Amino acid sequence: MRSRNTLRRVLAGVVVVASATAAALGGAVAASAHDSLVSSNPASGDSVAVLDEVTLDFSANLLGYDGGNIVIVLGPDGRHYESDCVGLAGPTLTLPVALGEPGDYTVEWRAVSSDGHPVSGAIPFTYTGESRSGGTDASVCASAAGATAAPETTSAAADGGGPSGVTIGLLAGGAVIVLLGVLVVLIVRSRPREE
């Protein structure tokens, strides 16, 4: 009876600790927000006659994971018009571009928010300048080329990405706590009773 009561008490303690940790984690997650795109050149819907560089300014410094921040520019023909990899400086992403035919272009971007979550979006703009030959079938940047399909999946997962990350974190945290609890129970049970 005695050891069963101890077991019950330990299990109750584990539940309390697990709930408290989950609440604390939830609070911490709610307190931190994803960084958002503050401004860009070109801005959504802009018409530009000259454009050598796309810049995206975010609300906080992005994380510089290798290949984590990706910006591509797709032309009216669906080809790529980046001329180099994207550069990161604090909260700003800069992408050199060489546009081709006049028409509708789209900047597709994905960035790693300062809280570690990916954010993404698309900026449509119109190029009205002179027609030039150019464009490539894939990105000239290796990390962006490897993730050419990424903008679609990430933009779909942009809002779902955060919560699923949180869920995974909570599940992992919960699992660790449960394992610790089981360990404690096993130790308590295996300890010889002296009385």
- The set of long-range contacts for 13-20, using a CB threshold of 8 Å and a minimum separation of 24, is 13/181, 14/177, 14/178, 14/180, 14/181, 14/184, 14/185, 17/177, 17/181, 18/174, 18/177, 18/178, 18/181
Contact call for residue 46 and Cu ion (CB under 5 A): no
The one among 117, 121, 123, 177 contacting Cu ion by CB under 5 A = 117
- Choose the stretch contacting Cu ion; rule: CB under 5 A; options: 29-37, 121-129, 149-157, 187-195: 29-37
Contact call for residue 110 and Cu ion (CB under 5 A): no
Shortest distance, position 44 Cβ to Cu ion, whole Å:
22
Shortest distance, position 29 Cβ to Cu ion, whole Å:
8
Pairing of strands 47-48, 118-127: parallel
Shortest distance, position 143 Cβ to Cu ion, whole Å:
22
Q: Which is nearer to Cu ion, 64 or 103 (CB)?
A: 64
Contact call for residue 80 and Cu ion (CB under 5 A): no
Contact call for residue 166 and Cu ion (CB under 5 A): no
| Number of helices followed by number of strands (H, E) in the chain | 3, 8
Q: Which is nearer to Cu ion, 103 or 163 (CB)?
A: 163
Shortest distance, position 35 Cβ to Cu ion, whole Å:
8
CA distance 93 to 70: 9
The CA distances from residue 38 to 54, 74, 117, 190, in Å, are 14, 22, 17, 59
Q: What is the number of the residue whose Cβ is closest to Cu ion?
A: 117
- From 96, 102, 105, 121, select the one nearest 39 (Cα to Cα): 121
CA distance 4 to 12: 12
- Choose the stretch contacting Cu ion; rule: CB under 5 A; options: 70-78, 84-92, 117-125, 187-195: 117-125
Contact call for residue 34 and Cu ion (CB under 5 A): yes
CA distance 29 to 134: 44
CA distance 159 to 1: 51
Shortest distance, position 32 Cβ to Cu ion, whole Å:
6
- Choose the stretch contacting Cu ion; rule: CB under 5 A; options: 20-28, 64-72, 133-141, 154-162: 154-162
Shortest distance, position 116 Cβ to Cu ion, whole Å:
7
Residues that bind Cu ion (CB under 5 A): 34, 115, 117, 162
